[in-house]
Amino acid sequence: MPKYYEEKEEDGRACGGVREDLRQCLLESPCVLQENKSPKQCLREGHCRSLQVTFFACKRSMVSARVFSFPGGL
* pLDDT > 60? residue 9: no
Q: Quote the domain boundaries for residue 33.
A: 16-61
Q: What is the pTM of this model?
A: 0.70
Answer yes or no: is 6 within a domain. no
Domain assignment present for residue 37? The answer is yes
Residue 22 domain-assigned (yes or no): yes
Distance separating alpha carbons of residues 53 and 15, to the nearest angstrom? 12
Show Cβ contacts of residue 38 under 8 Å, excluding neighbours closer than 6 positions. 32
In a domain, 50, yes or no: yes
Residue 2 lies in a domain: no
**Dihedral sign, CA of 10, 41, 56, 71?**
positive
Domain count of the fold of the chain: 1
How far is residue 58's CA from residue 36's CA, in Å, rounded to a whole number? 29
Q: Mind listing the pLDDT tens digit for each residue in 24-64?
A: 999 999 999 999 999 999 999 999 999 999 999 998 887 76
Residue 67 lies in a domain: no
Q: Which amino acid is at 36?
A: N
